[in-house]
Structure formats: structure tokens, C-alpha cells
Amino acid sequence: PPLSEILNLHDFESIARQVMSEKAWAYYSSAADDEITMRENHAAYHRIWFRPRILRNVTKVDWSTKILGHKTSMPVYITATALGKLGHPDGELNLTRAAAKHGVIQMIPTLASCSFDEIIDGAQPGQVQFLQLYVNKDREITKKIVQHAEERGIKGLFITVDAPQLGRREKDMRMKFEDEDPSVVSETGSKDVDRSQGAARAISSFIDPGLCWDDLKWFKSITKMPLILKGVQCWEDALEAYDQGLAGVVLSNHGGRQIDFSRSGVEVLAEVTKHLGEERGLKFPNEKFQLFVDGGVRRATDVLKAIALGATAVGVGRPFLYAFSSYGVDGVDKALQILHDEFEMNLRLLGAPTLKDVVPSMVDASSLSNH
């Protein structure tokens, strides 16, 4: 169908399922085990309700904000998702180009199909990009990646901490990753891969399961980029990250692709703001220690719920993959335009002229277990 018939982010998924290769669909759409967490990621937003305010002047509404001090046109960033060329020959560049057009921030994955430099070179001058890092057992490789990223102007390092081993994504494992086109994986950091168990396992054997809290000092010694942990799933670890002086955490379960039965990011968000408030007197959103959430975000209303609960911004993954797999860069462009339109309308209907007006009392989150 023509792009003009696409009305929301869910639509991209149903179209992608029809047009994508079986292998790409299996890799993008799969999640761990019984996929309970993946379903819960979106379902958790269904337990949060709005308490809109009336009779406020909403002639002009503004949903722009800052992430780690950098301007963004909306409180959404494009999160890191590996293997862009499985879905489209231009891979991650589809995201880079649409991000430039809309003034949003792209997080570049370690396991991008395009090379890191290709993605940086594909950006507009001044375009802000972050890097998602899988830490290699060989720290010299990791050091090179990090320092090169800093030299090339990356503004934040998101270290993935929820994947000491890749989860079992059975849909993907049923597909052998004997790819005819090795260019789908640019830098795996490993050559002797097991290609018999799906794309995810084939590309991830270099990741260091020995990574631990003590290693963060080393990261601070090799880079001045802000460090953020991606994949925090309880308040105790968020507190530890704060105490270690990190710039923030992403409350995420990797799109349900790691341990099944981990909770939705937005559920964890309510727990984290409560306990870090009690333990350290922190208020959120907080500029010095920023909370991000990802997983299952498909509507601006989902984003606004997370903002009300204290998130600085929210990451979106699969919808952009499905958008470029079906329509290339125009699909991502359309997905971002849909979000913009949804922000405008929903801020008006909420009675919130800016994101600062989206406060905790604008949601009824009493059905979340930790609120």
C-alpha cells in the first residue's frame, strides 16, 4: 500500500511481515523464549491512564526537548538495532537520513550492517548520534571503537549490559544464518561464528560475559563521552549506576529479546523514580542522571506516559526497522512524521503546552505494581 495509507506505527509491522524476507522477519520480530516480555512491553502501557487538564491555552504546543544536553525535536530517539541490511540495502543509513530530516537522535549499533564511518559520514553536519556498545572480550578492540567514536563526534556511549549471552530467539534460530551476502554484518569482531543457529547467535560470540561494575572505571579512563547503561531492570542497579557517576540508564529488556519474564521498561521506571527519590532525594526528569525507557513504544501517548513518570526520552526500535524494510528512508520519515502529529494532538488534549507540563499527576499509574 502507498505510504499515505499508513496511519500509525503498528501499520508498518503488518506490512513488513508481508514484504520482508523470512530471514529478516525472523531476526527483527523475534524475542526470547515464549515472547511474554515482548508482549508485556507494550501491554504495560495499557495499564497507565491519563488525567488530562482542561482550559489551558494549547494554541501552541512544543514537544522538543534535550537528551544529554542535545536538542531533539521530540522525546524519542532511534535506538540501536543490529543488521539493518537484512531489511533494506541501505541499512542503517535509512535511519541516519530520516533522523537528520526530523532532528532526532540515532543510536548507532556496534553490529550495524553499514560500517560505523559510513553512518557517521552519512550524517549532516552537527547531527547528533550516540553509539551502542557491545563490549568485546578483547578490550583493545573495544578501546579502539570507543576512542574512534569519540574522535568522530559521538555524543554518548550506551553500554549494553543485558546481554552477557544472547537470549534464545527461537524464530530466528530456526533460520540458518549462512548468509550469501557477508556484507550484512560489517564488524562482528569475530570470524569463527556458528552460523547454524540464527542471525543473533552468529554475530554475538565476541561479547564479554565477564563485564562487571569494576570495568566502568576503565571506561571513564578511556573516554570523556557520557556513559549510559542500556538494559537496567531494577532500581538497585539504577542506584549503583547513579552512585558510580554515570550519566544515565536505559530501563530496557532489549525488546524482550533477552531474559523472558523481565518487566517492561515503563514498569521499572515507576520503581526507579520511587526508590532513587527515597534513597538519594532525586527528582525526575533529572539533567544529571537521565532515565530512558525502551520497548513496546508505538504511540506518542506511550511516550507521554513515560515522560510523566520521569523519563527524559524514550527509545523506539522495531517500528523504524519495519518502516525502512517496507519503504526505505521514506518509511522512517513517515514514522517520525506520524509521531510528530501524535505529539501535537495529544499534548493539546492533555492540556500540556510543553513537556514540562507533563507531570506525574497527569497519569494514573496506580495499576503499575511499583507505583
Q: Which residues bind ligand FNR (CB under 6 A)?
A: 27-28, 41, 79-82, 109, 111, 132, 160, 230, 252, 254-255, 257, 294-297, 315-318, 321
3-class DSSP assignment, residue 219: helix
- Judged by CB, which is closer to ligand FNR: 189, or 296? 296
CA gap 236, 160 in Å, rounded: 17
Length of the chain: 371
Question: H or E element: which one contains 248?
Answer: strand 248-251
Q: Which of 42, 254, 302, 333 is catalytic?
A: 254
The minimum distance between CB 252 and ligand FNR, in angstroms, equals 5
C-alpha 219: how far from chain center: 21
- Judged by CB, which is closer to ligand FNR: 41, or 65? 41
Task: Check if 77 is active-site.
Answer: no
- Judged by CB, which is closer to ligand FNR: 61, or 120? 120
In 204-328, alpha helices (H): 215-222, 235-243, 265-280, 300-308, 318-327
Instruction: Determine contact, residues 262/233, Cβ cutoff 8 Å.
Output: yes
Instruction: Determine contact, residues 88/25, Cβ cutoff 8 Å.
Output: no
Grid cell 527483527 in the structure block, residue: 28
The minimum distance between CB 353 and ligand FNR, in angstroms, equals 28
The minimum distance between CB 221 and ligand FNR, in angstroms, equals 23
Locate 97 and state its grid cell: 537520513
- Judged by CB, which is closer to ligand FNR: 108, or 276? 108
Q: Write the Ramachandran bin of 206: left for phi over 0, alpha for psi from -120 to 50, otherwise beta.
A: alpha
The minimum distance between CB 360 and ligand FNR, in angstroms, equals 24
Task: Check if 162 is active-site.
Answer: yes
Nearest Cα neighbor of 233 from 213, 210, 261, 214 is 261
Pairing type for strands 70-72 and 65-67 reads: antiparallel
Q: Which of 134, 242, 322, 327 is catalytic?
A: 134
The minimum distance between CB 134 and ligand FNR, in angstroms, equals 6
C-alpha 138: how far from chain center: 26
**Residue 230 CB contacts under 8 Å (≥ 6 apart), including other chains:** 80, 132, 158, 159, 160, 161, 162, 249, 250, 252
- Judged by CB, which is closer to ligand FNR: 198, or 317? 317
The minimum distance between CB 112 and ligand FNR, in angstroms, equals 8
Q: Which of 162, 172, 302, 333 is catalytic?
A: 162
Nearest Cα neighbor of 208 from 189, 236, 227 is 189
Task: Check if 172 is active-site.
Answer: no
Q: Which residue is nearest to ligand FNR (CB)?
A: 317
- Judged by CB, which is closer to ligand FNR: 47, or 53? 47
Locate 347 and state its grid cell: 499534548
Residue 97: DSSP 8-state:
H
- Judged by CB, which is closer to ligand FNR: 109, or 331? 109
The minimum distance between CB 38 and ligand FNR, in angstroms, equals 7
Active-site residues, by number, are 134, 162, 254
